[in-house]
Amino acid sequence: MDLQPSGNNIELAFIETEEIYFSIKGNDYAVGISDEAQLKVVSSVEIITSEFNKNMYFKEYKNYEIIIEAKNNSKVEFYHDNHSIRDKVTPAGRSGRMLSGIINFRGDIGYSDLYVLVNGREHIKVTVEVFPSKIDYKDDYKALLNDVNEEIYNLAYGFLSRTYLGAEISTNTNSTYTEFYSVLNYIYDKILKSIDIIVNNPHHGLVKESRVCKYHSLRNSSMETVKWLEKRPHVMKNIDGRYIPSEAIQVSKSLTYNTNENRFLKFILLSMVRKIDSFVFSYNKLIWKSDDEVISKLSSMKRQIIRRISNSFLKKVTESHVTSISLVFSMASGYREVYKYYLMLQKGLNINSNILAISMKDLPLLYEYWCFIKINSLLRRKYKLISSDFIKVNNDGIVVALRKGIESTLVYENPRTGERFEVLYNSATKSGTLNQKPDNILSINKDGITKGYQFIFDAKYKVDYSETYSNRYGGVGPKEEDINTMHRYRDAIVYKAKDEVGYKNCVFGAFVLFPFKNEEEFKEHHFYKSIDKVNIGGIPFLPSSTKLMEEFLDVLINESSYSTFERYIEPIGREKYIKEEYYANRNVLVGIVKNKVQLDINLKYNFYHTKCRNVNLVERAVKYVALAQSKNAFNDDAGIIYYGKVSNVEVVKRSDITEIPSEIDEMYYKFNVEEWVELPSKIEVHGYQVRTVMYTTEYLLLNSRNVGELCINSRESFRKWKEVRKNYFYK
């Protein structure tokens, strides 16, 4: 909700005409003065008073009060391309002769047109310029726009060259001409139809002509006549007691087609003619034989355009280029289509998005677009673009479908490794709760895995400049809430394969991209160092600061799958989490110890012995031996306490084991151990006894509490047993 203006508002601009008073009010900190800024007023009538600084600029996310007052009973309206601004200025008072409201340009940067309409016709247009606060307007902002345009052009031209262009034409060294010819072929008939619509119903205006004439020849008077006489009392003569002027000003109005809109229209058409001439000139200079059909077709196009100029109102219209586009080119039939096709010829494509809005530019959204575009621009320098789904063809022509909320995917291949990776924009990702939709996802498929390792790069047009923040983190940087969002993304975005039971984390890191220039300074920031620690943090990203981002992308793409996997933050207890292999390799021999005497000797001399027929070493490669103290012989000391790693195995007669004398000649295995080690906790005997020997795994030996648990043979069984044990046996 927009805040109401405070009581210290001042009048920033005031304009008076015969019909209205127009003013803009705001706090003095809401505007600035710059030689590069421009405030312009275009009026269809004479301006009586204008009070403003022509070098004044407005600021993003500031409030301004608009007041419009009609001098008479004329219907007064306010218009702006952005409905959220337009709807704020509404009638005030009972008379309905006054409009007022609080507007906020928010993040819409650049020129913004404010229209006042009187009786449905454009009365005045006030063009203000909105400057950004987080980036340099003349450098970074324009660089953002140029980068977006250039990259989209490059992607679209690649599509054009593959889809529409013939082999001969595509070898033209001037790719602009190639693109121009291709697009012109596609839209030419539509352009002619649009021109014909304009010729049948052209835009026009009224012009005032003033001349001084003798009073007796004055046909009619107006307010201009009265005002002229008031300033010239010397022309008043006393004739028979009456004051009669000897001369006066005669004001007449006439219809004209020489409007700004028609002057720009003629510029567009003649620009097409000049481009055709330039194309033909360059095409005739090619080393191969030129195609006469191409030349003939272009010549015919040129003649038809010139014929429409020469045989219509456009003949008497002067040619002129304009910097801002009026409502006529936005809304009027014919004009609107010509302008669209002109942009297609200029850009080579129809941009189906609000990147190039005619009068307003949402800077946070532009920054989001730019981040996506620039990431791909950096990648295309080193990696092969395989496919892109946001360059398409429909009935409107060649379309770049880059729009907030619409998913786009670009697929690349690393020429060095052959691995493929994707850059996803606005991709809706699954979660066990609410779906997440980060701006950009880099998904890298390493070592042939089905699901890629994902890294999130979220564009945030926000910078925290507060002193408290700088003292805490070591300088300006991304906002805390945006860093927290990265933590949320990593936790919330999960993956579930069709043949698997549970969800898995697939996001290995998440990073805020924010507008900040000084990369070297940010290297010392807490939220840059945190990338190495927890793979969450911020990266400065602007047209003048792309080095850190480019280097980081190269690291992620070219590192091994093992290095990538190590970026993952494991949960507490992960090292103890049950894996299926913990139950497969049962290489631990658990042997019964008959009495305390045997236990002492076994411990003293580092061995354990049992009959050969009790053990199958062919099937079991025994790596460890654990000693099971029976309940009958050890009472409260029963259980498994000691285990040791086997150093070697001997096959001997029982009588040869002299540490524990016996006259039996049966063959025994003597397991010599490196040393006996106590288990972290004793494995108790509860209802289950080791009769002679049993086998288990190293994991179960180290994590079991009961002898019975040593027999568990699967991860799922162990998980269920632990749940039962936790809830019923060991509360």
pLDDT at position 517 over 70:
yes
Highest mean pLDDT (candidates 75-84, 273-282, 665-674): 665-674
Q: In what order do the strands lie in the sheet with 588-593?
A: 607-611, 667-683, 639-653, 624-629, 588-593, 693-696
The CB density around residue 699, as the number of other CB atoms within 10 Å, is: 17
Q: What is the pLDDT of residue 728?
A: 52
Q: Are the CB atoms for 627 and 640 separated by under 8 Å?
A: yes
Contacts with 127 (C-beta within 8 Å, 6 or more apart), sequence order: 38, 39, 40, 41, 42, 111, 112, 113, 114, 324
Query: Quick one: average pLDDT of 47-58?
Result: 91
Nearest 5°: the CA angle 423, 427, 430 is 125
Given a cut of 90, whether residue 369 has pLDDT beyond it is: no
pLDDT at 167 over 70: no
What's the whole-number average pLDDT of the chain?
Answer: 79
User: What was the pLDDT predicted at 625?
Assistant: 96
Which residues, in sequence order, are bridge partners of residue 65? 25, 102
Tokens of 715: 């991860």
- Residue 267 near residue 260 (C-beta atoms within 8 A): no
Q: pLDDT digit string (tens) for 198-234?
A: 999 888 887 777 788 887 677 777 777 778 887 888 8
pLDDT at 381: 86
Supply the pLDDT for residue 424. Answer: 87
As a whole number, mean pLDDT of residues 643-658 equals 93
pLDDT in the model for residue 628: 92
pLDDT in tens, 560-608: 766 776 676 665 555 555 566 677 788 999 999 989 999 999 999 999 9
Q: What is the mean pLDDT of residues 426-435?
A: 64
Band of pLDDT at residue 610, cut at 50, 70 and 90: very high
Among the listed ranges 155-169, 455-469, 697-711, which one has the minimum average pLDDT value? 155-169
Q: Quick: pLDDT tens for 337-358.
A: 888 777 667 654 443 443 443 3
- Look at residue 228 in the predicted model and tell me its pLDDT: 84
DSSP state of 429: B
Residue with tokens 């006996």: 676
* Residues pairing with 351 in the sheet: 400
* pTM reported for the whole predicted model: 0.50
* Weakest-pLDDT range from 168-172, 247-251, 556-560: 168-172
pLDDT in tens, 439-454: 788 888 776 566 678 8
